[in-house]
Amino acid sequence: MEEAYHLSVANEDMEKCLNLCRVFTELGETMLNKIVNHPPTSTAQTGHFAVAIFDCVLICCGHPDYEIPDITFNLWFRLSEELYQRNDDRLTNSFRPYIERLINALAKHCQMEPDTDGILEEGEDFSEFRSRVVELIKDVVFIVGSANVFSHMFAFLRSTSTGLGGNVSGIPQSGGLGWEVGEAALFIMCAVARNLVPVESGTEETNCVSQVIDSVLDLAATAHTAIRHTSIR
């Protein structure tokens, strides 16, 4: 059915994409216990045959319409609950690559439209979707680590900031090309920021946090309103 999904995307058949995504997600939920009992290993993608369904679900999460990945959220919630209850670091780490890919996909889906003038209004469909993303990330972030997500998103911000009409310190300063990419990265960082714990001075985590704070304090008045709003949060 993976090939059928790709054909549906190519033909822009939204209804069929939604239905196939539901099939993949339901299959993942049905087989979840067996997958967790026979997880992929860190050295090779072996394990229960149904683990491949996570790849299919993540392919769906890459669809440009956020309605598609929204269907998959319950599967990720259930996976996080299973891993949290079992409290086995080795088991949790075996699913880390999937969650890393998921968070990267969600960061793209959280991007506002480039022509957005202000901030999102509460109650809008897209605003509600972003709220659900925050809840999901808070639930699954222990699998990859809050500090890792925070630093990864900031590194991404820094790598793109000079192309966003911004300064090299990190956060885009203006509403130039791609401001919505930077805002979405900041939005994901905001979702995990409260989970960061104090660490020794001079560590990579401490340096990352201090750079983020410096960048927020250095925001220019010309920065897009949404970037300023998310940075303050």
Across the range 115-135, mean pLDDT stands at: 94
d(CA 119, CA 32): 38
Query: In the numeric block, which tokens belong to residue 108?
Result: 């793209």
Q: Average pLDDT of the chain?
A: 87
Query: In the numeric block, which tokens belong to residue 76?
Result: 């990720």
Name the percent of the chain lying above pLDDT 90: 66
d(CA 189, CA 211): 13
d(CA 47, CA 97): 15
* Residue 164: predicted pLDDT: 37
Is-contact 95 143, C-beta < 8 A? yes
pLDDT digits (tens, 9 = 90+) for 140-196: 999 999 999 999 998 888 876 543 334 434 455 444 448 899 899 999 999 999 888
CA distances from residue 67 to 126, 128, 187 in whole angstroms, order as listed: 10, 12, 19
**Of residues 139, 128, 19, 15, the one with CA closest to residue 75:** 139
